[in-house]
Amino acid sequence: MDKSAQHPGKGKRTARGPATWSISSPDSNNAGAGGDASAPIDSDPPARPPPRMGEPKAAAGAGRRGAPASAGMRVFSPEYYALCAGGGMLAAGTTHLAITPLDVLKVNMQVNPMKYNSIFSGLNILVKEEGPSSLWRGWGGKFLGYGVQGGCRFGLYEYFKKRYSDMLPRSNKSTIYFLSSASAQIIADVGLCPFESVKVRVQTQPIFAKGLVDGFPRVYATEGLSGFYRGLLPLWGRNLPFSMLMFSTFEHTVDFLYQNIIQKKKEDCSTIQQLGATCLAGYISGAVGTVVSNPADNIVSSLYNKKAESIIHAVKSIGLRNLFTRSLPIRITLVGPVITMQWFFYDTIKILTGLKSTIGSFREQPTDLNTSCVQHCGQVVLYWCIQDDLNFAAMPAVSA
């Protein structure tokens, strides 16, 4: 008995072998549907080579929608991580340089809260007593130190996000974000710490040094190498929770905005919409991280200016309530816009180089062979079934 009669709608093998197949389309049973219901199609659709490791689906098919503008840039390649590090260095260095006057005031408010008790009066006192140039003390440490930190923070975050997602495929997104940001921040703070050590002294002790050039030798001569890393532990205590919450809040906020506010896929949004979501998520993430990291920030300033000999002594001298409230308004004023501009510059650099703005794209995309087969065969998926003499059968595609 002809097996095709037992299974109506299945492919019928021609006399010359498996070169062509008669496929009944899903609409072939409707009278007057139009078109040839048994039009022959190739059994093997044109094969497209699978994407290389780390290559996104959009980059695998040249000319398809969403393909990056810079075809030579492979996501998760060394060049990609170098671009992320360079973008982070430029974004963090320039934004921190721009807010140097407010940073000078913040540090002095932490060290001498009785004298500098508000933003406007504090700025007025600094200008009157030490001149306008005092507001830019420590600018070199801000630009270079936070540039190094930003390069490590953003570049290594992208790297660790990919590595941890491969190592822990069943972990949720928050776990990946926490682990990636913490790992990146630990290394970033090692690079920042020497610059921060000199910067805080320059900003609060005018006679100590004028900047990095004379500040580095002075610290080394008086305290040795350990003087540059005296505040590393409290610096980790400040920046680790900040970074973990900042990156995680940013990623989840952007995801929420696309799903519930914009209600479009990121690939379908304009550049302005993408950067708008980036800025809003950046400000929210910066504000959340600031509140959590404020106690450690006060401890760092106290230790660097020798107002306390140890972390425990600093906590006792500042007081538990003041740890959370001292300099908090100015830090929110500082950090919110700074983090917003960092994410704005960072994602702008990525978009201008043909990459996508930042949001949870850390897992390998599946190969596109099945999708290309469905598109080529008119929404019909070919299944290979082993039946008796290895006949092949075709079934209509099931809607996802």
Work out the angle at residue 343's Cα, subtended by the Cα atoms of residues 338 and 348, and round it to the nearest 5 degrees: 125
Confidence of residue 377 (pLDDT cuts 50, 70, 90): very low
Q: What percent of the chain has pLDDT over 70?
A: 71
Q: Is the pLDDT higher at 178 or at 302?
A: 178
pTM: 0.67
Nearest to 79 by CA among 109, 61, 59, 96: 59
Confidence of residue 205 (pLDDT cuts 50, 70, 90): confident
- Average predicted confidence (pLDDT) for the chain: 77
pLDDT in tens, 90-107: 999 999 999 899 889 988
pLDDT in tens, 301-349: 787 776 777 888 888 888 888 888 888 888 888 788 889 999 999 999 9
DSSP per-residue letters across 158-226: HHHHHHHHHH-TTS-HHHHHHHHHHHHHHHHHHHHHHHHHHHHHHHH-TTT-SSHHHHHHHHHHHH-GG
Q: What percent of the chain has pLDDT over 90?
A: 38
Q: What is the pLDDT of residue 312?
A: 87
Q: What is the pLDDT of residue 363?
A: 54
